[in-house]
C-alpha cells in the first residue's frame, strides 16, 4: 500500500518513542487538522487541537515579569517606581503558570505516551520570538518534537480569504519562512512535512513516524486520510 516501508506494528508497539510530546506548528488553512488525526493513529498518542496559543501568552507573561528583575536591587524603597520587584519569586511564578497549564489545559488521559496539540497562531511572531518561545516550550516539556506543517501558500492565502480570516498574506509567508528555517536548523527535534506532498504521496509520512519512533498503522493512516477532519471552508 502506497509503497510504505514494511514496518511491523506489533514489533514497535510498547517501545519507547523518541519524544514524549509533539506539537504541530502551522498557520490556518494548512491541513493541520488532518495531520492531528494522523498523529493520533499512533498507539497511546493524544494530540489535541488548538487552545488559542495560550502557552505563548504564558511565555509573554513570564518574559514581561522577568524584565523587572533588572530593577530589583534599587526597588526596596517605596518611592521607587519598581518598589517590591525584589520580592517577586520569578521562578515560582513561572513554574506555577506551567503547572496550571499542564493540569488544566492539556492534562494527559491515562496511559498516554505521546501528548501535545496543534496551534496555528504563529503568524505575528518574528524569527527571534519564535526561537525563544520554542526554547521556553522545550524547557518545560522535555523530549518535545515540533512537527511543522506547511502547504502551498497561494492555496493557504486563498483559503483564508474564503474563510474571511483576518490574517495578512505577509504574515503567512513570513511564518512559513520562519518555520522552514527552524526545521532546517533543528533537525534533532523539528520535522517538516508539506501537506501537498503527503496527500499526493502518503508514503512520505513514513519519515515522520520514523522521526517520532512511532509505529505506522497503514490501515489507520489510510482511514485518517479518507476522513474529513475539518468542517470549515476549504
pTM: 0.89
Pair 195, 149: CB distance under 8 Å? yes
Distance CA 185, CA 191 (A): 10
CB 22 within 8 A of CB 114: yes
d(CA 72, CA 179): 36
Q: For the domain made up of 1-51+114-234, give the CATH fold.
A: Rossmann fold (3.40.50)
What does the block give as the cell for 234? 476549504
Nearest residue to 18 via CA among 187, 197, 221, 220: 187
Cα–Cα distance measured from residue 137 to residue 23, given in angstroms and rounded to the nearest whole number: 10
Per-residue pLDDT of the chain (234 residues; tens, 9 = 90+): 334 443 443 344 456 899 999 999 999 889 899 999 999 999 999 999 999 999 999 999 999 999 888 777 777 888 888 888 888 999 999 999 999 999 999 998 888 999 999 999 998 899 999 999 999 999 999 999 999 999 999 999 888 878 778 888 999 999 999 999 999 999 999 999 999 999 999 999 999 999 999 999 999 999 999 998 875 544
Going from N- to C-terminal start, the domains of the chain cover 1-51+114-234, 54-105
Amino acid at each position: 500500500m502506497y509503497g510504505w516501508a514494511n514496518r511491523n506494528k506489533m514489533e514497535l508497539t510498547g517501545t519507547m518513542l523518541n519524544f514524549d510530546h509533539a506539537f504541530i506548528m502551522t498557520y490556518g488553512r494548512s491541513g493541520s487538522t488532518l495531520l492531528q488525526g494522523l498523529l493520533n493513529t499512533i498507539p497511546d498518542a493524544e494530540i489535541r487541537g488548538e487552545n488559542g496559543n495560550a502557552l505563548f501568552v504564558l511565555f509573554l507573561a513570564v518574559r514581561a515579569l522577568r524584565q523587572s528583575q533588572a530593577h530589583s536591587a534599587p526597588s526596596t524603597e517605596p518611592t521607587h517606581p519598581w518598589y517590591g520587584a525584589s520580592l517577586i519569586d520569578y521562578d515560582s511564578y513561572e513554574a506555577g503558570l506551567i503547572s496550571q497549564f499542564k493540569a488544566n489545559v492539556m492534562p494527559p488521559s491515562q496511559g498516554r505516551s505521546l501528548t501535545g496539540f496543534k496551534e496555528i497562531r504563529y503568524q505575528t511572531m518574528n524569527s527571534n520570538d519564535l526561537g525563544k518561545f520554542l526554547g521556553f516550550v522545550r524547557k518545560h516539556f522535555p523530549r518535545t518534537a515540533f512537527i511543522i506543517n506547511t502547504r502551498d501558500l497561494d492555496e493557504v492565502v486563498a483559503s483564508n480569504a474564503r474563510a474571511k480570516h483576518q490574517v495578512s498574506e505577509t504574515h503567512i509567508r513570513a511564518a512559513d519562512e520562519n518555520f522552514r528555517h527552524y526545521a532546517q536548523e533543528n533537525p534533532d527535534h523539528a520535522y517538516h512535512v508539506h501537506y501537498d506532498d503527503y496527500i499526493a504521496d502518503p508514503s512520505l509520512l513514513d519519515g515522520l513516524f520514523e522521526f517520532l519512533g512511532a509505529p505506522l498503522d497503514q490501515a489507520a493512516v489510510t482511514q485518517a486520510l479518507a476522513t474529513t477532519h475539518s468542517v470549515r471552508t476549504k
